[in-house]
């Protein structure tokens, strides 16, 4: 199984440790090949909001030299892992959000990739509001058409894993091991109902309101999405 990990923090702290535990267990399942991107280095520019990627092939992005290698790795992978600490009120890290902004052209009504529909993803977050930090990432991934998004929020109240009571550490370690085993074994499922809904909505909007000559319409047309559902 080819796995791509997208690290939403440069700090090798709680989230990194939780991710390492998850990856160790995943590797034990066998045949796991991991490629890791530390996004602070791999995606060092902020999205400028120019929208070139929404109206043109994504190579027009001024940061294509960073986006393309990440996108290529994502498309080749069987499974994706997104990691972020919980920051502020219900937020993911800015570093993770910046990646998702740069990849927003993958959304269903622009240029969703066929390869994405067969993939599974896992989101890991640590911190008191980790569940809330995970939620928007899951929404993004569902908009891309990812087959299934699994999550693990480590609800912890210290900035250091080892400062937690040992029993709590063990509990989280067991949780991550179990989640990794499940993630490894789980087969492709039916697409989400929201994916099916978004496909038909996008098809309608692109035909009725966007139309010939505009990039999203042309992308869909070239890939045969108007005549055949891509998932």
Ligand X SMILES: Cc1cc2nc3c(=O)[nH]c(=O)nc-3n(C[C@H](O)[C@H](O)[C@H](O)COP(=O)(O)O)c2cc1C
How many whole angstroms separate alpha carbon 18 and alpha carbon 183? Answer: 15
Residue 88 found at the interface with ligand X (CB under 6 A): yes
Least distance between ligand X and beta carbon 129 (Å): 6
Q: Closest separation between CB of residue 218 and ligand X, Å?
A: 41
Residue 14 engages ligand X in binding (rule: CB under 6 A): yes
- Looking at beta carbons only, is 42 or 128 nearer to ligand X? 128
The two three-digit tokens of residue 12, written as one number? 């090798």
User: Can residue 87 be called a binding residue for ligand X (CB under 6 A)?
Assistant: yes
- Sign of the Cα torsion 166, 172, 176, 178 reads positive
Q: Which is nearer to ligand X, 11 or 28 (CB)?
A: 11
Is residue 10 near ligand X by the rule CB under 6 A?
Answer: no
Q: Scan residues 112-151 and list those touching ligand X (CB under 6 A).
A: 126-129
Residue 129: strand, helix, or coil: coil
Mask: binding to ligand X, 144-183, rule CB under 6 A, as x and -? ------------x--x------------------------
Q: Does 98 bind ligand X (CB under 6 A)?
A: no
Task: Please choose, out of 14-22, 101-109, 183-191, 216-224, the segment that lies near ligand X by the rule CB under 6 A.
Answer: 14-22
Residue whose structure tokens are 């902004």: 101
Select the span of 23-31, 81-89, 171-179, 195-203 touching ligand X (CB under 6 A): 81-89
CB atoms within 10 A of CB 204: 11
Whether the CB-CB separation of 123 and 149 falls below 8 Å is answered with yes
Q: Is 58 in the site for ligand X (CB under 6 A)?
A: no
Q: Which of 5, 85, 110, 142 binds ligand X (CB under 6 A)?
A: 85
Q: How many residues sit in the footprint of ligand X (CB under 6 A)?
A: 16
Cβ proximity of 115 and 15 under 8 Å: no
| 9 is a site residue for ligand X (CB under 6 A) | yes
Angle of helix 166-185 relative to helix 14-28, nearest 10 degrees, comes to 50
For 15-70, the DSSP string reads HHHHHHHHHHHHHHTSS-EEEEEEHHHHS-S------HHHHS-GGGSTTHHHHHHH
Please tell me whether residue 226 adopts helix, strand or coil conformation: coil
Our CB check for ligand X shows the closer of 86 and 102 to be 86
CB of 200 to ligand X, least distance (A): 38
- Exposure b/e, 127-147, CB count within 10 A at least 16 = b: bebbbbbbbbbbebbbbbbbb
Nearer to ligand X, 19 or 58 (CB): 19
**By the criterion CB under 6 A, which residues form the site for ligand X?**
9, 11, 13-16, 85-88, 126-129, 156, 159
């Amino acid at each position: 199984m080819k796995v791509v990990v997208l690290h939403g923090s440069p700090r090798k702290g709680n989230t990194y440790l939780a991710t390492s535990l998850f990856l160790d267990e995943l590797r034990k399942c066998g045949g796991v090949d991991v490629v890791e991107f530390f996004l602070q280095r791999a995606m060092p520019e902020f999205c400028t909001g120019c929208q070139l990627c929404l109206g043109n092939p994504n190579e027009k992005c001024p940061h294509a030299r960073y986006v393309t290698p990440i996108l290529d790795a994502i498309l080749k992978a069987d499974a994706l892992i997104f990691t972020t600490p919980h920051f502020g009120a219900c937020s993911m890290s800015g570093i993770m959000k910046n990646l998702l902004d740069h990849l927003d052209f993958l959304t269903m009504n622009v240029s969703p990739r066929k390869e994405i529909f067969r993939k599974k993803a896992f989101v890991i977050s640590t911190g008191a509001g980790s569940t809330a930090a995970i939620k928007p990432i899951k929404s993004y991934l569902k908009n891309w058409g990812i087959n299934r998004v699994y999550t693990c929020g480590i609800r912890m109240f210290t900035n250091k894993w080892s400062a937690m009571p040992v029993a709590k550490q063990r509990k989280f370690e067991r949780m991550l091991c179990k989640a990794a085993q499940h993630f490894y074994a789980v087969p492709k499922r039916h697409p989400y109902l929201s994916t099916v809904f978004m496909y038909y909505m996008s098809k309608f909007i692109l035909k009725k309101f966007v139309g010939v000559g505009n990039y999203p319409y042309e992308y869909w047309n070239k890939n045969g999405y108007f005549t055949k559902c891509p998932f």
